[in-house]
Every structure is written in C-alpha cells, then in structure tokens.
Structure 1
Amino acid sequence: MLKINNISKSFENRKVLKDVTIEVKSETKVIIGLNGSGKSTLLKIVAGIIRADEGRVIIGERDVTLLPPEDRKIGYVPQHTALFNHLTIKENITYSFKNRRGSKETMEKTIDMLGLKEYLNCKPYELSGGYKSRVSMARALVSAPQVMLLDEPLSDIDAATKEKLLPEFHFVFKNIDIPVLYVTHDVHEAEAIGDTFAVMIDGKLIDIDSASRAFDFIKNKL
C-alpha cells in the first residue's frame, strides 16, 4: 500500500499542495485536475524528486519520506518519455540493472506483455510515440517497483494511438498487482484506465466516485 499523509508544498510563497492525504491499495488510482493544480508536484514528491515541506510518504511498512529516489523502489513514468537516445531499446529497458534492480525474468515478461520483442535493437528515435511510451513503461516495470507513478504518460500521443494503448496499459496494471498512481487531465483517459478516482483542485485532493464527476468539482471551483 502507498500512503501519502498530510503532504504540503510551497514554491515562492505559493502553496501548491495543501495537506494532501491519500491511500492507494493494489489498484489504479487516477488523479484528475487542470494544468497547474499540483498533480505532477505530488508525484515528484512521492518519487523523491522533490522534497515536501510537510508530511510523510509510506510504502508498505517503510517510511520513505527522506530516502533518495533510487532507494524508494518506485517506477516513475514522466510526462515525456525521457529515453536515452544513444542506447538501444533493450539497454533502456534494463537500465535499472545497473542498480541491481529487476531481473531477466521480469524483463522478458514485460517485453512480451508490451509487444516490444522485435524492437529491442532499435534506438528510441526510430520508434513512434506509442512505442516510446511502451518502452518508458517497460523501463519502470523492469525495475521491480513496489509502486508505479505515471504523470500524463500519453500526453504526447495522438488520439488514435492513445485509444489503442489505454486498454494495453490497463491490462498491464491489472497484472502487476501493486499501487498505481496515474495523473491526467483527460476524463475519458481516466475512465479507461482507473479503478478509483480523485480530483486535484487548488492544491487539495478530493476522492470522487467516478471520473465524470471531476468536471463538476472543477467547474464549481472556477
């Protein structure tokens, strides 16, 4: 389980996150919100990229609040794929092996699951946006994470490719059986990928029973 307890964060006297608390079990929790609402900041705090001003991050029974990113056992997929263009797809996917994370068995299973076997010797610049997203996902999964974080991972993808990838990613999340925190501003995407939902408004996180209700919350706050 992932527990985010009373997280607050300010940048230059602007409070971006305000006492955010959330629990994510072995499910896909989707956070929906407008750009600038604090969604990405929350994920970066959980990943250890940014330090919170207040609050704690707990994974299982471990308090990881003060740990560096490499010690948190988190798979993080950023908004832009951030692949290493000088490395092959296989080398990108197995990058976590350098830190002794992951296994050959996990790698082979992930490659099969995401349909990447025939692209392993390619370089990222030779792939379409959809396949780059698959590679970014595979790289995170092969590290054997205890939690997955995805920050609008399909934002650079055209609508047709996104429609194809959403059920594939949903299938992957169901199979890994760990907490998944998925950020988007697209309600349709949220409905296709999520099990449970929350909306981020003005730095506060509110649980909601469906993705479609997110717009009601957001409109009422504008």
Structure 2
Amino acid sequence: MSQPEPNQVPPTVTQSLKPPGSQPRSCLRQITGFIGWLFTLIIAVALTLTVAGGFLYWVGVDLTTPQQIRQASTGMQTLQMVATDQAVKIHQLQTTQAQLVGELGSARERIDELEVQASELAVVATTQASYAATAVALGRSLQTAVAENGALQDQFREGQVLVAVVATVQATQNERIREVERRSERLIRFLNRLSDIAGDTADDVASPTPTSITPIPPTPTMTAQATPTP
C-alpha cells in the first residue's frame, strides 16, 4: 500500500443518517406542542380576564372608574380652592373683628370719659345754672356716643355671626375634602392591588410549562473515513 502524497488531502465523506420520516414527525410534534401551548395560554388569559371582570363588576368598578377618579380629583382641587378662599375671608373677617373690637374699646373709653365729664358738670350745674347749656351739649354728645356704641356693637355681633357661619362652612368643606381623599386613597390602593394581581397572573401564564414544547433530538451524523488507495 502506497502512502498518500504530502499535498494530497484525504477526501472525507460526511453522510447524515436520518431515520426515514423522523423529521416530519418532529416538526409535527413541535407544531402540535406549540398549538397546545398557545391554546392553553388563550384559555388561561380568557379565564383570568373573566375572573377579573367578574370581580370588578362585583366590587362595583366599571370603565368609568378612572373618569370618576379624575372628577374626584378635580372636585377635591375645587374644594381646596374654596377652602383657601374661605380661609382668606375668615382672616379678613378676623382682622375686621379686631378693628371693631379696638373701635369698641375706644368708644367705651370715650363713653367713660363723657360720663365722668357729665357727672362733674351735673355737680357744677346744681350750683351754677349758667352751666346748664354746656351740660345739655354734653348730654347730646353722650347720646351720640351711645348711639355710635350701639351701632358698633351691632356691627360686632354681625361680624361674629358671619365668622361663625364661615367657620361652619369651612368645617363642612374640610370634612368633604377628607371624605374625598379617603375614597380616592381606597380606590387607588384597590387599583394598585388589582394591577399587582393582574401582573402576577400574566407572569404565571406567560411562563410555558416544561411539557408544552417537545425538544427536537439532535440528528446523528456519521463521518466516513477514507481508505488509502494502493
């Protein structure tokens, strides 16, 4: 037997040994497994959506819930603006009340001074008749001051009533704001919980089972070795 030449590469023959009919069967199994997995996924998603829809219908959540949340948020902002305006009005009324209290105190001091002067003039009038006209003028001034004091007291009472009414309205608005905030928080927590449940369900459904797709076995190949020619 002669040895092959140095520059001559021995020919290699590669022959793939495939059992007849194995490739179509493996493709058919793969397609069948994929269709079964897809059908299982569709059924699982349909069941999940049905259960989620039934649960949402049972708890009273419908397609208008996001709109209701937006409306509630808008209403809460409006109520907050109204509460702010009421607070500004209350501050203004409190300032006015403080001014009225100061004016009322000044009027009372003036009344006290006029009363002292009237007492002194009354004593003098008993001894000197010439001071009668002055006493009458001071009496008229006293009556005017008393009338002004009565008007100031009426304004003060009206201011107190208005402050009480505004405080009642503000308390009602604050209670409504707190109720809207509590409802919004409960609804947001419920939607977040429902979103987490839906996400977990989608993750569980999206992960295929180990038996859903049949793995394709590797095709054996055989390499024929060349026999050196004599």
TM-score by length of 2: 0.19
Structure number having the greater helix percentage: 2
Question: Larger Rg: 1 or 2?
Answer: 2
Considering Cα pairs closer than 8 Å and 6+ residues apart, tell me whether 1 or 2 has the greater RCO: 2
Q: Which has the higher strand share?
A: 1
